[in-house]
Structure 1
Amino acid sequence: MHPQGPGNAGAVHPTPAAKALGFVRRYPIVALTLLAMVVTGILALTGLGIAAQSLASLYALGIAIHQGVGMVKDILRGRWGIDILAVTAIVSTVAVGEYIASLIIVLMLSGGEALEDFAAGRAQRELRSLLERAPRSAHREGPDGVSQEIPVAEVVVGEVLVIKPAEVVPVDGTLLSESGSFDESALTGESLPVDRFAGDPVISGTVNGSAALRIQVTAKESDSQYSRIIALVQEAAESKAPMVRLADKYAVPFTVVALALAGLAWFLSGDPARFAEVLVVATPCPLLIAAPVAFLGGMSRAAKAGIIIKNGGTLEMLAGVKTAAFDKTGTLTGGHPTLEEVRPAGGFTASQVLALAASAEQYSSHVLAAAVIESARGRGLDIHACDNAVEHATNGVTATCGGRVVVVGKPAFVAQHVKGMTGAELTAGQLAVYVAIDGSFAGTLIMRDPIRANSAATIKKLHSLGVRHAIMVTGDAQSTADHVAREAEIDEVRAALLPEDKVRIINGLPHRPVLMVGDGINDAPVLAVADVGIAMGAKGSTAASESADVVILLDDLAKVAQSVEIGQRTMKIAIESIWIGIALSVGLMVLAALGYIPAVAGALAQELVDLATILNALRALLPGRRKRG
């Protein structure tokens, strides 16, 4: 049972008559074809066979002309589609008097869009469920402790909200109640409730348990995790899988074989009806429908696993990835660095260095900046407001704090502002943030960011999936990068890079397609230029998520390998579905060529071929069998 969100109350369900009218408006040719079939049947049963044949033939030829005009335009633009088979089949059945078969072919063609929409709707069910659960209102706690229902868009940071039992959390916040239990399955796929305690973050889109709770808002609706997910899902749902290219690989050979077999059957039998009977079972619906359904199923399967794949073309790229590139901080490492030591210099104290560094780092989006600020606050140091603060992407920050000019960042960047700076001696896994104050070298902050426990396992899994090469591209120092690479079993390391360096390296990698994984604002350019950009979006920047092709909603590096696995399985099912349709159609064509399948029976049999290919394509929704280890 799914809990009802505030936005679901009072939903109006359309009547059967309204649904039927909506279907007619959306698919007028399908409705007209059904009407033509009914009228034709009535005329035939009442002894007006000539009128029935005339009506059906004229209608079918009209549809063939309509399809033929579009087909000719495509051919003139250099696009050889597979509608030629359908048009030829309609004309040939009319020519030999099989007018019922011609109507069935028209219905099959015009109903293909409706059938695809139905299958796509089934495949996108997981995506739509996220949108349907989006809360429309929240309960704000007043000064007197009484809650008031307000639109979610009016919630502001710092307010206290009351989350009722079984209610969807509308915005991100911090839990004020002593403890609470939340269902996070819609976001993470984890079926068991997750316990949170006072001070823990609460993510929007999760469902509260059986007790009313209080949270303090930390992000307004537009900035909350669930709204960002919904925006990505809408982008994914509106994207059409670019399967025309895949279908075209098979379309021309299939058309040539079908026409050749139909002509041969006519020549050997001397009966022109054989030509029509063969083409009736050679209509191209399996090629047009099955592959897009498989791709939409793969996108839905990925969404259920906490992976938003923005378009079908990305799935195709994921299936063929040969090189995987990774940022270091927050990607291969956990992104939770800690300050181990402050090494002051130039007569400054450790407290002075840390307090001024933290003051300047307020204006940086880098994950190390948050760790510096947290460490300063943990030591009870005052963090000052600064003027003229500028973040120099991937290099550091300059700011004027309390009347003192502070420079924080990488050694080469800080060295540009001071003389006589000395490099810090580091042990394996350590990294240093350099600080200058008023033009003098003030010291270093020694930090450590542990590698993720599953980094090496993820690289190994990617290799088993056919990824030939794994490379790390990072702005951090070479020694720190080498240490992480050894633990993660990365094949190649490129360190001390600027964003433009990363772009140049990714563009120059020989084994393609190239997958790039990152999480910060500085990763946005390289994610955009990679063949497949994957953003670790659980705590990463919005810029990275927007420029990436894939967004992982969970803080789990293993999802990178899972996304490649889903891409490969989806592509396999798409191609399988096409070949199933081709094989069944060819088998029916041979039987029709031998005279065993009349035109009407062939048209009906082709519908079963369509159904078989679509059902196979829908397997992409399923997780697949796990290999025994």
Structure 2
Amino acid sequence: MKTGTTPSATAAPTDRVLCLTRTIAEAMKAEPALEAVKINRVQRSISVATLGRPKTPDLEGYLTAQIRQIEQADTGQRCALLDGAADCSTCPVPQPPAERSRLTIRQEGDTTTIARVTCVTAPKFWRWREIPWPRLVPREVVLPDEADHEREWKLQLLAATLCGLLALTAGMFGEGLTAKAFYVLAYIAGSWFTLHEILELLRKRALDVHFLMLVVALGSASIGAWGEGATLLFLFSFSGALEHYAMGRTHREIRSLFKTAPKVATLVDENGNQREMPVEQLRPGMRLLIKPGEQFPVDAEIIKGKTAADESNLTGEAAPADKGIGDGVLAGTMNLWGVVEVHVLRLAQESALQKIVHLIKESQHLKAPSQRFTDKFGTSYTYTVLSLSLLMFFVWWLGFGYEPLLSTATSHSAFYRAMTLLVVASPCALVLSIPSAVLAAIASAARRGILFRGGAAVEKLAEVNVVAMDKTGTLTTGELKVERVESFPPGREQEAARLAYSLERLSTHPLARAIT
């Protein structure tokens, strides 16, 4: 490797122990000015000593990246020098003797110094400086399409607003050429996103009511009803903006579950040493330390200590759940007061919280029965209306003798009549109303902390007559009292109260507290 180039990041392959000594030796080989590296694992500080001006462009960045890679490695691949658990003499992958002879490794308490073999006076001329300890860079939780929905609804709302404003401006100019120019701009703004959807469908050789809406708008313009076509495009584009807004709102509510979720966890190795590790790198069987006030990063089982967990964000129960050895804890729930050690049960992406989010996202694609009907109806209806309009054009032209394209002073042309039929037959209200109503309901519920699993769940509420809830402390305050005692048959109220008391006197449930 030539002097002045950054050392290869593949110096320590991941199929063996990631050796700190070998990593620094590679850096020294590439950078003659690098003389020593000092690491304090407790104070989490790194110092480098150089003699002269380094020729490597980003020596510090390389060292930081390599130490981060070693620190985040699995237990079997992690260099023991970073933990102080062993030295190079006990390493399962020792350095070659020739390479080892060029370095000195000195351990003083929590500090490990790796330096070149040199004369005793050389260190006096070394220039020491500290570099930042490698910061863990955990992967943020990102929900697919969230950014798309957030950006899409704003752009569609902008397009709909432009369409409406341009149409209003055109109406102020009356019937002249200027008015038509503004109408053309309004049509472009209102149909921009619809046109993209239609092109996608055409690639799949399919048509739906979106195509029919666009044809109707163009048909309105062709017969001089520019304002009606612009109004239709405004309503359609505004409906699309509402749809993406509602979906984006639901995505944001789902993502809020992860805002306070831990990105790193405290790993405890076989020797009792602690270090931070990104949550996505945790594997079943690893041992973690969870302090009071921290969230459990993954689904796990308590193996040491006892505590109470706040599971309200997952189960809705406000009362803390006592946890002891052998009890399971769920990712995203809060450790309230005890210091506990847990045994990882599942990967982070397989946690109960992730499964809940997956179910919600999956169910969002389940459309309501009315939406499924309009989708199925819309495709066949589009072909029917277009075919009927084309057929009637020829009937009026060839059968009744009307002019094909140009209207006369006494009668409208066959094309004008066909376009009128097309406009009248357009199911605008049906297409716009059902998705808008469902999405408005989902968005309204999301603002109140309720996540509907798609439009089907919204419409199912119309069939509900009675709701029975067993959510003490969630939908209620948890402070109950006995109002009256009734028995069937009447007359045995005191006996029923005594039996209830005998059953509940040793329980701590809110219902039991009210009875006792």
| TM-score bin (small chain) | 0.3 to 0.5
Bigger relative contact order (CA 8 A; separation at least 6): 1
Larger radius of gyration: 2
Looking at secondary structure, tell me which structure has more strand per residue: 1
The TM-score, its normalising length taken from structure 2, stands at: 0.42
State the TM-score, normalized to the length of structure 1.
0.36
